[in-house]
Amino acid sequence: MIKGFIFDLDGVITDTAELHYLAWKKLAEEMDWTFDREVNEKLRGVSRMDSINIIKNHNNASVAEDKLEELAAMKNDIYVASLDTMTPKDYLPGAEELLTHLRQEGFLVALGSASKNSSKVLEQLDAKKYFDVIGDGNSVSKSKPAPDIFLFGADKLGLKPEECIVYEDAQSGVDAAKAGGFYSVGIGPEERVGHASVRFETMKEATLFEVKSHFQD
């Protein structure tokens, strides 16, 4: 029986990908590195340090580990400053309606994001009230596709993986949900999240009514 929902943040609740993109772009410009939207797409759901390694490798650059951490921190400062522009108008269409519906129906709800800035993003959206548990990049050490962040959320909710549905927009996120034994709702194109239990193009279609019809007990 489904008792809980675990949500990824970027690409599911809100679209911070554009702000991540602008921050990485600024860093890349300072480093004289190439960086475009195609490379940015590879960073979806990927941790900050894994992201900078992808960008570094794309540029065939060699950077010492401590310098790489310094560069990632620079990008993060740019990104965090840009979060001040976010407001409760920045939910992806359908996301706040779904969270409200889950509260009305009494489901347990957790966040399961790779971002260490999740708390700030939720504050900007005024979304903390919709979550019983917040699992983010600070909660576990192994990032997606490892299932740890979702197992953390389920455990804190007091639920078993098979009692939870995970919403994800990243390939590695759906991999993580599957590895943990969760049902998954993929948000996005077939080539990215077609391996989820059920897939919708956008959050607008992934309503509680629609999703429940796929997971009837």
Let me know: does 13 contact 91? Beta carbons within 8 Å.
yes
Annotated catalytic residue 32: no
Q: Tell me which of ligand B16, Mg ion, none is bound by residue 109, counting a contact when its beta carbon lies within the kind-specific cut-off of 5 to 8 angstroms.
A: none
Q: Is position 184 an interface residue for ligand B16 (rule: CB under 6 A)?
A: no
Q: Indicate whether 48 belongs to the interface with ligand B16 (CB under 6 A).
A: yes
Q: Among 28, 33, 51, 102, which residue sits at the site for ligand B16 (rule: CB under 6 A)?
A: 51
Closest CA to 95 of 212, 206, 211: 206
Show Cβ contacts of residue 129 under 8 Å, excluding neighbours closer than 6 positions.
none
50 is catalytic: no
Using CB under 6 A, pick the residue from 46, 140, 193, 208 that binds ligand B16: 46
Upper half-sphere CA count for residue 205 (Cβ side, 13 Å):
10
Does residue 90 interact with Mg ion by CB under 5 A?
no
175 lines the binding site for Mg ion (CB under 5 A): no
Rounded to 5°, the CA angle 81-86-173 comes to: 90
Cβ atoms of 140 and 111 closer than 8 Å: no
The Cα–Cα gap between 127 and 124 comes to: 8
Out of 4, 19, 21, 45, the only residue in the binding site for Mg ion (CB under 5 A) is: 45
Question: Which of residues 51 and 184 has its CB atom nearest to ligand B16 in the complex?
Answer: 51
Which letter does DSSP use for residue 84 in this model?
G
Interaction of residue 8 with ligand B16, rule CB under 6 A: yes
Binding site for Mg ion (CB under 5 A): 8, 10-11, 45, 169-170
Binding site for ligand B16 (CB under 6 A): 8-11, 20, 43-48, 51, 76, 113-117, 137, 170
